[in-house]
Amino acid sequence: MYDSTNPDIVTSIGPSEEKSVVLTFDDGPSKLLPRFLDVLQQHGVPAVFFWETRLLHPDRPWKRVLEEGHQLGTHATKHVNLTKLTHEQQYNELKNSQQRIETITGATVKLFRPPFGQFNDDTLQAAKRLGMTTVMWKVAPIDWELKESPEQIVANTVSHLEDGAIILLHEIRPTLGILPQLIEAIREKGYTFKLL
């Protein structure tokens, strides 16, 4: 579980008439993206993708992401710890990433997730200057560490669910393998899926 009282950070969405959560995927667009999209489409689930723009080759299926109703955000250009950079360096890193996504996809980028979840006041101010909301999470099932026991991703997620929670996942093979099971387990707990 993660939470923040900082008003410049989003870790959950507001309560609604039905319990809901937000699935987010970091570290793409990966070669597995088409398969992630297949699972999400089959189950009728929208998601938010935070992309490293060094991976955003024009031949990645970004059109499909938008056509199928998902949201895009930036995860910076490269997966660097932004807190080791000056304010202006952070600003330029985010600006370049935001512009690259917008240039390739035509979509406006309003969402940002700091690499490693690391940020400081300069990071938040840089994002704000660029009109972006900094998005963190409430639930992190640690999918990147569970290559040998991916079923634990489901258990870690379900045991920490709460209304409005943003869930941190990654575009990696273990997560892809359990994604159908994870979606069903979340639904069995009475939750629907929303966007930010």
Active site residues: 26, 170
Q: What does the DSSP assignment read for 139-188? A: B---GGG-SS-THHHHHHHHTT--TTBEEEEESSHHHHHHHHHHHHHHHH
Instruction: Give the H or E element holding residue 133.
Output: strand 133-135
Report whether 161 contacts 12 (CB < 8 A). no
Residue 99, helix vs strand vs coil:
helix
CB atoms within 10 A of CB 28: 23
